[in-house]
Amino acid sequence: MKPPLGIWAHVCGSDLVRDADGKLYALEDNLRIPSGVSYMLENRIVAKRVFPELFETCTILPVDEYPMQLYETLAALSPRPGEQPVIALLTPGVFNSAYFEHTYLAQAMGIELVEGSDLFVGEDDCTYMRTVYGPQRVDVIYRRVDDLFLDPEVFKPDSALGVRGLMRSWRAGKVALANAPGAGVADDKVVFAYVPKMIEYYLGEDALLPNVPSYLCTDDRERRYVLDHLGELVVKPANESGGYGMLIGPRSTKKQREKFKKLVVADPRNYIAQPTLSLSTVPIVTPRGPSPRHVDLRPFILSSSNVYVTTGGLTRVAMKSGSLVVNSSQGGGAKDTWVVDVEEPR
Amino acid sequence: MLSRVAENLYWFARYVRRAENMARLVGVGSQLQLDLPRSVKFMWQPMIDTVGGAGLFRKLYPDAGSAPADVDVMRFLLLDEGNPSSLRRSVDTAREVMRSIRDALPPQIWEVVTDLHMFLGGDAEGLVTRRHRVDLISRIVDGCLKISGLVTATVSRDIGFQFMQFGTAIEQADMTTRIIDAGASGLVAPRKEEDRETFRNLQWMAVLSSLAADQTYRRYVRRRVTGEHALQFLLQSDTFPRSVYFCLTRMQRMLGVMPARPDVKTKLDSVVNSIRAADPGALVRQNPASFMDEIQLELGVLHGAVAGAYFNVAAA
């Protein structure tokens, strides 16, 4: 199985943080279904409305070409090159927390917003949309549905969000899926720890951005270190998202540390630990005036015939004072981030 | 256009039109009630029957008896969430249907639907009292007309628009037959036989005004309101936009710009023929109820054909 252009992860959102030493580190990669790009676009619209003077006097690099770049990334995957591709965004539906983003992106790209029940796979293994004109073939699907729900024929048999036969259609090369099924293995935080070594092995280069150092609990020596230093480290489950199931050592109680000790010993493959970083802060406005809050930055990377990196990104802010949890599912906020071109001041 | 989106647009338009007609129907009942002398009794039961709610009403209001109280009927027809054809359920369903196609319609429409939804979910008890009933009804009718206005003024004339217009027309045709049904089956029960004719005509006037047809009727028919003429006007007028015939011919014209499906055309032509062939005089003498039922069934078959042709696209 070789996906078009040999690319599995067409859309990637990597979380970057700045530590007390002032250096940027890669904290984790999101390759399964990275989300949040619509907030980046909306935040920029708001920032332009609030600070028009700053945008006039500084050269702030734009982010608004993202939907067009994404469209081209998707179009390049079409199994019928030369023809106007039919592209659809597959959403789990209105009850998904990212539904706003799905609608936003589908509209911004001028593609169809479809749910699993809108699609079917024919006997010719092609994927079709049900339209008022009859079935219409779909070339590329930007799927925002998790792997396990994609196709009840292969994965969860009771999934109502997916399309029966979609994996068959994909394997036959009749439809392109972005991101390709399986790209989520890179979201595993244990796999992530090996990324610098992968770069070295496959590309013969050093990583430009260092990883936040990770301790692998499968390694006897490192696990012993983790268990002895639980009070200083952040322990994360390998395959969770949304900032759930973590232990933040310096803020933990003895009871929590005891609990994690048992969890790590019972299933070492499922945990990694990282030093507690002193994440950089930005000011936010509170009822009592400006106040610092911790942030991280998620630029989006599109890989197709070309590679495109947003000149900006989703900046997530922990809204609680002192908190290191920036996830929106846990009440985090968002900010606009500017990449300012200082070479050519106006 | 995705079948699901077209179907939701179609149902959205239907539910909005249904809510508007329901409000008008109840409004007319309330008016008529005030016009009647003491010797003539107003009957709510036909109005409950016409929306197919007789059994359900007995179940939800077991103590109501054969002459149900005004307030119970109002609550049942307008606000009861347990009644699938209540005004409130129509508005809420329209809103739920729109939720997944919000990007296909202008945002102001969502605002109006949400406003109606909040209004009906608000101080319900206060709304059904006779004092506030007029306000309630005019607010609903205004809201629904505002949506129709926004649709005609701001929605792009693509295929989705055709499905909305089709939904509006089929719902209006259906509701018009139901309102005729309610009117013809005797909303009033005179105690003296000699009063019967007078109040029958009063009742037909009420039916006309519930469909906002009273003024147009006078201009075009120029005759005293009688059952026969009112029925002819509401069934067969080719200019009044709420007559059954007008709605059907409008659908015939729309089929010209929708993807051709012979089955839909056959079913639609068949209803048109039934309406054309109808003899209003004979119908009034025999009681038009069973004819109206037939038309409603035919419209149901037409809906089935539309759903089969455009909404349930099978894996061929």
pLDDT at res. B186: 64
Work out the mean pLDDT of chain B and round it to a whole number: 88
Mean pLDDT confidence for B175-201: 75
Residues from chain B contacting residue A128 (CB–CB below 8 Å): 315
Cβ of residue B253 closer than 8 Å to a chain A Cβ? no
Minimum CA–CA partner of A92 in chain B: B100
Q: Which helix (H) or strand (E) holds A11?
A: strand A11-18
Helices B159-184 and B289-306, packing angle to 10 deg? 160
The two domains A80-174 and A213-275 share their CATH topology (first three levels equal): no
The pLDDT value given to residue B165: 96
Q: Where are the alpha helices (DSSP H) in chain A?
A: 37-50, 52-57, 66-75, 99-109, 166-171, 189-193, 195-198, 220-228, 254-266
Listed residue (A113, A97, A109, A125) closest to A35, CA to CA: A97
What pLDDT does A48 receive?
Answer: 93
* pLDDT value at A131 more than 70: yes
Reported ipTM: 0.79
Cβ distance of A131 and B315 shorter than 8 Å = no
* Of the candidate ranges A96-100, A249-253, B33-37, B217-221, the one whose mean pLDDT is the lowest: B33-37
pLDDT tier at B311, thresholds 50, 70, 90? very high
As a whole number, mean pLDDT of residues A7-20 equals: 93
Query: What pLDDT is stored for residue B102 in this prediction?
Result: 84
Tokens of B287: 């009681």
Q: What's residue A345's pLDDT? A: 54
Residues from chain B that touch A119, judged by Cβ atoms under 8 A, are none
In chain B, which residues have their Cβ closer than 8 Å to the Cβ of A94?
99-100
Give me the CATH code for the A213-275 domain, please. Answer: 3.30.1490.270
B309: closest chain A residue by CA = A132
CB neighbour burial string for A206-227, b if at least 16 within 10 angstroms, e if fewer: eeeeebbebbbbeeeebbeebb
Q: Measured between beta carbons, which residues in chain A are less than 8 angstroms from residue B3?
A: 118, 130-132
d(CA A82, CA A80): 6
Count other Cβ atoms within 10 Å, centred on residue B63: 7
The model carries a pTM of: 0.83
Does B193 score more than 80 pLDDT?
no
Mean pLDDT of A207-215: 92
Backbone dihedral angles phi then psi of residue A284, each to the nearest 5 degrees? -125, 165
CA B7 to chain centre: 19
Q: Enumerate the domain spans of chain A.
A: 80-174, 213-275
> What is the number of residues in chain B?
316
Could you tell me if A16 and A27 are in contact, meaning their C-beta atoms sit under 8 angstroms apart?
yes
**Which has the minimum average pLDDT: B37-51, B171-185, B210-224?**
B37-51
Which of A94, A132, A134 is nearest residue B6 as measured by Cβ atoms?
Answer: A132
Question: How sure is the predictor about B210, in pLDDT bands with cuts at 50, 70 and 90?
Answer: confident
Rounded to an integer, what distance in angstroms lies between the CA atom of residue A12 and that of residue A299? 8
Contacts of A146 (CB under 8 A, 6+ apart): A32, A33, A184
Region of poorest pLDDT, from A11-15, B128-132, B134-138: B128-132
Tell me, what's the pLDDT at A2?
85
End-to-end CA distance of chain A, in Å? Answer: 51
- Residue among A103, A115, A120 whose CB faces B4 most closely: A115
| Better-scored residue on pLDDT, B294 or B50 | B294
Token pair, residue B184, equals: 């013809």
> How far are the Cα atoms of A108, B27, B273 from residue B52, in angstroms, in the given order?
45, 18, 26
Q: Which residue has the higher pLDDT, A343 or A157?
A: A157
CA distance B1 to B108: 22
Confidence of residue B67 (pLDDT cuts 50, 70, 90): confident
Cα B101 to the center of its chain, rounded Å: 24
Residue A234's φ and ψ, nearest 5 degrees, are: -105, 125
C-alpha A319/C-alpha B67 separation (Å) is: 61
In the block, residue with structure tokens 């048999």: A157
Q: Nearest-CA distance from B107 to chain A in Å? A: 13
Q: Which two tokens stand for residue A162?
A: 């997916």
Tell me the pLDDT of chain A averaged across its residues.
91
pLDDT at B264 over 80: yes
- Is residue B230 within 8 Å of B257, Cβ to Cβ? no
Which residue in chain A has the smallest CA separation from B312?
Answer: A130
CB atoms within 10 A of CB A18: 17
Q: Percent of chain A scored above 70 by pLDDT? A: 99
Q: Does residue B260 belong to the interface with chain A, where contact is any CB pair within 8 Å? A: no
B315: confidence class by pLDDT, cuts 50, 70, 90: low
Is any Cβ of chain B less than 8 angstroms from the Cβ of A271?
no
A112 contacts in chain B (CB < 8 Å): 2
Is residue A305 pLDDT above 70, yes or no?
A: yes
Structure confidence at residue B7 (pLDDT): 96
Closest by CA position to B49, among listed B245, B299, B296, B303 = B296
Q: Residue A12: what pLDDT?
A: 95
| Predicted local distance difference test score (pLDDT) of residue A306 | 87
Place of tokens 């071109």: A341
pLDDT value, residue A346: 52
- Higher pLDDT pick, A167 / B28: A167
* pLDDT value at B123 more than 80: no
**Measured between alpha carbons, how far is A211 from A193 in angstroms, rounded to an integer?**
8
Classified by CATH at the fold level, domain A80-174 comes out as Rossmann fold (3.40.50)
Quick one: average pLDDT of B51-69?
82
Q: Are B162 and B257 in contact (CB under 8 A)?
A: yes
